[in-house]
Amino acid sequence: IGTPSMKPLIIFGTGKIADVAFQHFLRDSEYQVVAFTCDAAWLPSLAGSEPTHYDLPLLAFEEIERHFPPAAFALFVAVGYQELNALRVRKCEQARAKGYRLASYVSPRADQGPWLELGDNCLILDGVGIQPGVRLGNNVFVWNNTLIGHHSVVHDDCWLAAGATLGGCAVVGERCFVGLNATIGGELTIGADSFLGAAVLVLKNAPPRSVFIAGATEKFRLESDAFLRMSRMPALARAAKD
């Protein structure tokens, strides 16, 4: 299975996160995806045929090692941040217990150098900026255009959503979720199991299980067509005076 120059890989999951991971491994990776797996309870019921995903075999995780032995295949757990990443943590532990080596994906379009220290089952997408001295633990997912400042540490099982910013020497504890465009100041520590919502600005150390939520922008009272008409009026008035 696969080609001599590529390593065979199984992806756990069939949802949107698995689709994102699959497309990136397919686009540019040393791995070739040869199968998908999920818990038996989530396998589709197909009369007279074996289930597939992206035209590849889809097998029950409970017996995956019977078909793809751990000594010959790597595995990637492509699960979201449900239960503050705890579901993904459990599946990684189960895969390791079966003997699988967990693969990581780092986009060649990420801005990172040989200084990066990276654990297993990590996903680093396009446009991520990783400065010198950064350490990422196991099972860390970092989405597009995130900036991780120099000498920062992101511990195991975290999720950094697109556009998040970590200042230099920041520390993010285990199993944290950092939302879209959230900012953590430099030399700060965020305790384990914390939830930072979209667009929050954190400028003080936070203990474990902290929650930060930023207020949403209020919807303007006018509908878009009326607003555009109103916004043109000052310009039209100035033009009439000229």
Q: What digits encode the pLDDT tens for the residues 38-72?
A: 999 999 765 557 899 999 999 999 999 999 999 99
43 and 60 in contact (C-beta within 8 Å)? yes
- The pLDDT tens digits of the residues spanning 78-129 come to 999 999 999 999 999 999 999 999 999 999 999 999 999 999 999 999 999 9
* Residues 20 and 77 reside in one and the same domain: yes
- Domain housing 14: 7-102
Number of domains in the chain: 2
Alpha-carbon span 145 to 142, nearest angstrom = 9
| Residue 233, pLDDT score | 63
pLDDT value of residue 49: 72
Q: Within a domain: residue 241?
A: no
Look at residue 219 and tell me if it is in a domain: no
Closest by CA position to 10, among listed 142, 98, 85 = 98
Of 102, 136, 163, the last residue of a domain is 102
Asked, for residue 237, whether it belongs to a domain, the answer is no
Q: Is the domain of 137 the same as that of 184? A: yes
Q: Based on the fold, state whether residues 111 and 208 are members of the same structural domain.
A: yes
The answer on 56 and 142 residing in a single domain is no
Residue 59 lies in a domain: yes
Domain of 45: which CATH number?
3.40.50.20
Q: Are residues 25 and 38 in the same domain?
A: yes
**Are residues 114 and 205 located together in one domain of the fold?**
yes
Among 48, 78, 102, give the residue marking a domain's end.
102
In CATH, what number is assigned to the domain containing residue 133? Answer: 2.160.10.10
Rounded Cα distance, 219 and 8, in Å: 49
Q: Considering the domain boundaries, does residue 29 fall inside one? A: yes
User: What is the rounded CA–CA span in Å between residue 25 and residue 33?
Assistant: 7
Same domain? For 143 and 189 the reply is yes
pLDDT in tens, 181-212: 999 999 999 999 999 999 999 999 999 999 99
109 and 148 within one domain: yes
Q: Which residues pair with 190 in a beta bridge?
A: 172, 206
Does residue 242 fall inside a structural domain? no
**Among the listed residues 122, 169, 157, the one whose alpha carbon sits nearest the alpha carbon of residue 24:** 122
Among residues 69, 102, 135, which one ends one of the domains?
Answer: 102
My answer on whether 66 and 91 are in the same domain is yes
Q: Would 224 be classed as within a structural domain?
A: no
pLDDT value of residue 2: 47
Q: What is the pLDDT of residue 157?
A: 98
Q: Is residue 26 located within the same domain as residue 44?
A: yes
Q: In whole angstroms, what is the distance from residue 56 CA to residue 2 CA?
A: 12
Same domain, 129 and 168: yes
Task: Tell me the pTM.
Answer: 0.91
Q: Are residues 188 and 203 in the same domain?
A: yes
* Rg of the chain on CA atoms, in Å: 22
Question: Is 235 inside any structural domain?
Answer: no
